[in-house]
């Protein structure tokens, strides 16, 4: 299996589309960092205008942690676009290029083939998030230094300097779970078609439709909202609260894991039964 | 292996909703055979090959390779087979040698650079080993397809129309390679084609299928060198000729009557006798064209029998 995964990773990282996500983050994050470097104080004044009337804020809130949090908030919605570029191509790409025939006539089981591709996709997803973490957290800390983290949610939280890093690590960990769900969904769609465009569009359509349903304040939709995986994807924000609602985190985490396993099993079943006609 | 049978197919059927691509097909390929699998385009050849290589599941029937059931022993069987299904496709963004390395690893083959280069040399691509496959012509891809099929030294090689789209020189090279594999390396070869002549040159046994059904099967020599010929006789006065034949022993050999021609199925030795008989009975013979029955039969199904 390790041999198969290394082959799949080799193929993934020899494709140009794989680097689109890495390049996009390498462009976008510095743009945000540069903008905040020059305009950050204005942003912070605007964000804290209400509390400044009642409190005196001592210290520098414009630091690497704040930048990393802003980057994560801003880009989290867009990362799925980068994930599906590769996830949608994992199986469909083989059909498009006609290489399914070469692969499936080898003495390897379809189970191993699908599983190795799935794990390779998960590795790509996590590498992309590590890259995002390095750029947003690592580089921001290098440029702006560390300090207290101010988080504006339903309440205003100010976390002590030494109480922040672990929150980021858990946030990125949960974000990895969320993005793995997106990967699993695009992988599922990828098993049914012979062109990667279909899974990419279908996955994004599902995410957008679910996000719209989640945002609609309509009574009839309330019962289905807990079952929409997109509602659980942003629960990483819970780590930027105090106290952390661990029950909510665990519940959402389990729902996302169930989705990942479910999408994988459906893909596996359909692929094992599939007639290769491409 | 059961009685030296490398491939044993019984009652193989594949249906897609209303369409029956392969219908109750039986065939046997023996060790050392170069087996021609002949049929017009759309006859069900590729569907059969896909079933032999477990790309698609049969609707019914059984496939045994090396005496083992394909579904139950898929992995063990595939270790002993190399193949090309339809056109060989590769990872276009990778060099030829990397494609071979990946496919070789999946087959458990020796993927040392020495072995990979030997394979590329065998198919004449050693000088293009590091070129990306997207720069390859169709013929070069076909040759690379053969290299990947041979990489793990399989006992059975399944080739689906390997000369399609090649120029005459490319066709000759592939034919020579197949003959070399059969004669010098003792490989069993299953070769599909829609060209009778190709099979005639390479194969020792063959089957013709059409509309997914067996039409004829046997030794190529027996089938092609059978004494029975289909003889088309063109005459000036068809009515006179037909009357003459009607009242003679040749009546039972007359198979077809067209506007100006009569078609007989007779033995090679009977041709001059028939000609003499017609001339002596004042039938003016314009031409007399013998065609082997198998060729005639294959031409007929090729012209009008495709699915």
ipTM field: 0.74
Q: Which residue of B has its CA nearest to A103?
A: B103
CB contact under 8 A, B92 and A10: no
Answer whether A14 sits within 8 Å of B93, measured CB to CB: yes
Are the Cβ atoms of B92 and A106 closer than 8 angstroms?
A: no
Domain end marker among B177, B195, B224:
B224
Tens digit of pLDDT for each residue in A170-203? 999 999 999 999 999 999 999 888 888 888 888 8
Contact criterion met (CB below 8 Å) for A33 and A67: yes
Q: How far is B95 from chain A (nearest CA, A)?
A: 11
Which CATH number characterizes residue B97's domain? 3.40.50.300
> For residue A242, what are the contacts with CB-CB under 8 A and spacing of at least 6?
A157, A159
Mean pLDDT of B158-165: 84
Of the CA atoms within 13 Å of residue A43, those in its CB half-sphere come to 16
Cross-strand pairs, A149: A159
Helices (H), B212-306: 220-224, 238-246, 270-280, 293-304
B106 and B53, same structural domain?
yes
Provide, as residue numbers in chain A, all residues whose Cβ is less than 8 Å from the Cβ of B50. Answer: 275-277
Helix (H) or strand (E) holding B148: helix B138-150
For residues B79 and B204, membership in a common domain is answered with: yes
| CA distances, B12 to each of A83, B7, B27, B52, B53 (Å) | 43, 12, 9, 10, 13
Asked whether the beta carbons of residue B81 and residue A106 sit closer than 8 angstroms, the reply is no
* Structural domain boundaries, residue B209: 2-224
Arithmetic mean of pLDDT, A30-37: 82
Question: CATH number, domain at B269?
Answer: 3.30.70
Residues B217 and B112 in one domain: yes
Is residue A125's pLDDT more than 90?
A: yes
Q: Whole-number mean pLDDT of chain A?
A: 85
Distance CA B272, CA B252 (A): 17
Cis peptide before B124 (omega within 30 of 0): no
For residues B39 and B298, what is the distance between their CA atoms, to the nearest angstrom?
Answer: 8
Same domain, B143 and B256: no
pLDDT above 50: residue B306: no
B247 and B261: one domain? Answer: yes
B204 with B252, same domain: the answer is no
Give tens-digit pLDDT for A127-144: 999 999 898 888 888 888
**Residue finishing a domain among B224, B246, B279:** B224
What is d(CA A173, CA A204) in angstroms, rounded to the nearest whole number?
Answer: 22
Contacts of B108 in chain A (CB under 8 A): 107
How do the domains of chain A map onto residue ranges?
2-273
Least confidently predicted of A143-157, B34-48, B127-141:
A143-157
Question: B210-243: per-residue pLDDT in tens?
Answer: 888 777 777 777 777 666 777 888 888 888 888 8
**In angstroms, rounded to a whole number, what is the distance separating the alpha carbons of residues B137 and B124?**
13
Contacts of B86 in chain A (CB under 8 A): 98, 101
Distance CA B302, CA B163 (A): 18
| CA-to-CA separations, A53 to A39, B91, B206, B224, in angstroms, rounded | 22, 64, 94, 102
Report percent pLDDT > 70 for chain B: 93
Cα separation, A248 vs A234, in Å, equals 11
Q: Give A241-256 pLDDT, tens digit per residue.
A: 888 888 888 989 999 9
Q: If you ran DSSP here, which 8-state letter would residue B60 be given?
A: E
Q: How far is CA A34 from the centre of its chain?
A: 23
Structural domains of chain B, count: 2
CA dist B299 and B196 (Å) reads 9
Q: What's the pLDDT at B307?
A: 36
Q: Cβ separation of A102 and B103 shorter than 8 Å?
A: yes
| Joined tokens for residue B16 | 């897609």
- For residues B93 and B167, the model is more confident at B93
Residue found by looking up tokens 């009515």 in the block: B239
pLDDT over threshold 60, residue B8: yes
Give the three-state DSSP class for B29: strand
Residue of B nearest to A106 (CA): B107
User: A97 and B89 in contact by Cβ < 8 A?
Assistant: yes
């Amino acid at each position: 299996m390790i041999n198969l995964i290394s082959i799949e990773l080799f193929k993934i990282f020899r494709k140009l589309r794989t680097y689109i996500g890495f390049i996009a983050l390498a462009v976008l994050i510095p743009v945000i960092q540069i903008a905040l470097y020059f305009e950050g104080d204005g942003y912070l004044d605007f964000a804290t205008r209400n509390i400044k009337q009642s409190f005196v804020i001592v210290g520098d809130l414009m630091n690497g942690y704040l930048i990393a949090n802003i980057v994560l908030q801003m880009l989290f919605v867009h990362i799925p676009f980068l994930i599906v570029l590769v996830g949608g191509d994992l199986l469909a790409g083989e059909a498009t290029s006609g290489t399914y025939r070469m692969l499936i006539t080898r003495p390897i089981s379809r189970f191993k083939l699908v599983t190795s591709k799935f794990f390779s996709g998960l590795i790509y997803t996590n590498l992309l998030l590590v890259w995002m973490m390095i750029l947003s957290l690592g580089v921001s800390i290098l440029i702006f230094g560390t300090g207290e983290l101010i988080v504006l949610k339903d309440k205003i939280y100010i976390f002590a300097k030494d109480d922040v890093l672990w929150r980021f690590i858990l946030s990125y960990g949960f974000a990895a779970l969320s993005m793995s769900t997106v990967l699993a969904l695009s992988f599922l769609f990828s098993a049914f078609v012979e062109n990667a465009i279909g899974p990419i569009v279908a996955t994004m359509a599902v995410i957008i439709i679910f996000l719209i349903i989640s945002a609609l304040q309509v009574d009839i939709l309330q019962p289905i909202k807990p079952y929409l995986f997109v509602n659980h994807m942003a629960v990483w924000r819970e780590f930027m609260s105090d106290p952390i609602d661990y029950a909510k985190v665990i519940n959402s985490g389990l729902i996302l894991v169930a989705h990942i396993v479910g999408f994988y099993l459906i893909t596996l079943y359909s692929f094992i039964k599939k007639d290769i006609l491409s | 292996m059961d009685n030296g049978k490398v491939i044993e197919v019984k009652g193989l059927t594949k249906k897609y909703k209303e369409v029956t691509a392969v219908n109750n097909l039986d065939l046997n390929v023996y060790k050392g055979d170069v087996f021609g699998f002949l049929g017009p385009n759309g006859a069900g050849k590729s569907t059969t090959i896909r079933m032999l290589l477990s790309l698609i599941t049969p609707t019914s029937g059984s496939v045994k390779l090396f005496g083992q059931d394909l579904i139950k022993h898929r992995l063990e069987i595939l270790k002993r087979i190399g193949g090309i299904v339809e056109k060989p496709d590769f990872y276009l963004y990778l060099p030829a040698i990397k494609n071979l390395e990946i496919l070789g690893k999946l087959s458990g083959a020796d993927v040392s650079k020495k072995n990979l280069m030997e394979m590329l040399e065998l198919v004449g691509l050693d000088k293009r080993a590091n070129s990306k496959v997207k720069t390859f012509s169709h013929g070069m891809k076909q040759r690379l397809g053969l290299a990947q099929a041979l990489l793990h030294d399989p006992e059975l090689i399944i080739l689906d129309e390997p000369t399609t789209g090649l120029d005459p020189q490319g066709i000759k090279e592939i034919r020579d390679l197949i003959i070399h594999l059969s004669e010098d390396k003792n490989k069993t070869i299953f070769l599909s084609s829609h060209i009778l002549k190709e099979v005639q040159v390479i194969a020792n046994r063959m089957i013709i299928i059409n509309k997914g059904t067996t039409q004829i099967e046997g030794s190529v020599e027996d089938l092609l060198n059978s004494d029975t010929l289909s003889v088309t006789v063109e005459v000036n006065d068809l009515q006179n000729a037909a009357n003459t034949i009607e009242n003679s022993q040749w009546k039972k050999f007359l198979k077809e009557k067209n506007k100006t021609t009569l078609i007989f199925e007779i033995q090679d030795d009977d041709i001059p006798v028939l000609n003499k008989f017609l001339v002596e009975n004042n039938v003016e013979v314009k031409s007399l064209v013998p065609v082997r029955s198998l060729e005639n039969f294959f031409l007929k199904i090729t012209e009008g029998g495709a699915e």
